[in-house]
Structure 1
Amino acid sequence: MNYTLLTKGAPIKFLLAEDDHDDQMIFMESIHDILVPIEVSIVADGEKVLEFFKVADNPTPDVIFLDVNMPLMTGIECLKRIRKNEKFAQIPCVILSTSNSKKDIEECYKHGANLYLLKPQDYKTLTKMINMVLGLNWKEYSAPEQKSFFITEKEI
C-alpha cells in the first residue's frame, strides 16, 4: 500500500523547530492552505526538541522540521541526537533552512535527514513544499541520492 501522510486518516502531527517568529508564522500560514488536518507543535531550538520528546503527553510527530541555525543547539546537532535515539530515529526529519551552505547540506545528509528544503521567498511555495512532504511514501522511503536531497523552490 502506498502510505503517505495524506492517507493517514488522522490529523498529521508536525514538530517545527524554528527560532525565528516570522518564519514560524509563515509556516503556520502555509499549512492553513493545506486541506488536511495538521497539528503543529513549535519549539525554538534543538534543546527544546529533545525536551519535547521527554514529555509523555506530547504527541509523537509524523514529521520533524528542523532549522539549521538555531540558538543553544543547532538543527544538525539536534538531528544527530534524534537519530541516536531508537524511539525517535525513524521519524522523518526535514531540514527547512535559509542556509544553502554545502557543508550544512552535507552534514544533514550524513546524519540522516530525509530532505533538505531551502526556505522559499513566499508562503505559497512553502505550501507546495509541505504538500510534497505530505505526499511522500514514508513507510517505504529511503534516503534520496544526495543530488535529490537538497530542494529549492526552483524544483517545486
Structure 2
Amino acid sequence: MLTKKSGLKVVALLEAIKGLVSLIVGFGIHELAGQNIQVILENLLRHFHLNPANELPGILLEKASLLTPENLNLVVIGAGVYAIIRLVEAYGLWFGLLWTEWFALVSGAIYVPFEIYEVIQHQNDLSVAVLTINLAVVAYMYSVIREHKKDTENKPNQQ
C-alpha cells in the first residue's frame, strides 16, 4: 500500500507528465504554424499504419481540421498555461504543499462530469481509463485532505 508521501509523489508525477505532454504538444503545434496540419497528420497516421477511419485517428483528424492560423496561437498559449498549472501543481505535491492538495482535488473533480459524458457518448478504452484514473486521484486527494483535517482536529485534544 502507498504511504501518503509516496502517493502524493505518484500524483505529482502524473501531473508533471500531463504538463510535459502539454508543452510538447504546444511546441509541436507552434512548429507547424503556417503548414497544413491536416495533411501532416494524415501522413503521420499513414506512416504508423493507422486507419484514419478508426475512432481515435478520426477524432484527431477532426480536431486538426479546426486549427486555423488565426486560432493556432490561442491553442499554443492555452497549452502553455495548462502546462504551467500542471507543473506547479506537480512541484507542490512533490514537496507536500497543502494548497496543492486542495488544488489537485478541485482540478481533478472539475473534469469528472465531462469525462462521464465522454464515456457515455464514446465509450472506448481510453475514455474509461481516463475517467478511472481521475476518479482514483480525486478519491485519493480527498482521503489525504480528510486525514489532514482529522490530524488538526486531534492536535488540540493532545495538549
Q: Which has the higher helix share?
A: 2
TM-score, normalization: structure 1?
0.26
Task: Give the structure with higher Rg (CA).
Answer: 2
| Greater relative contact order, per chain length (Cα 8 Å cut-off, separation 6+) | 2
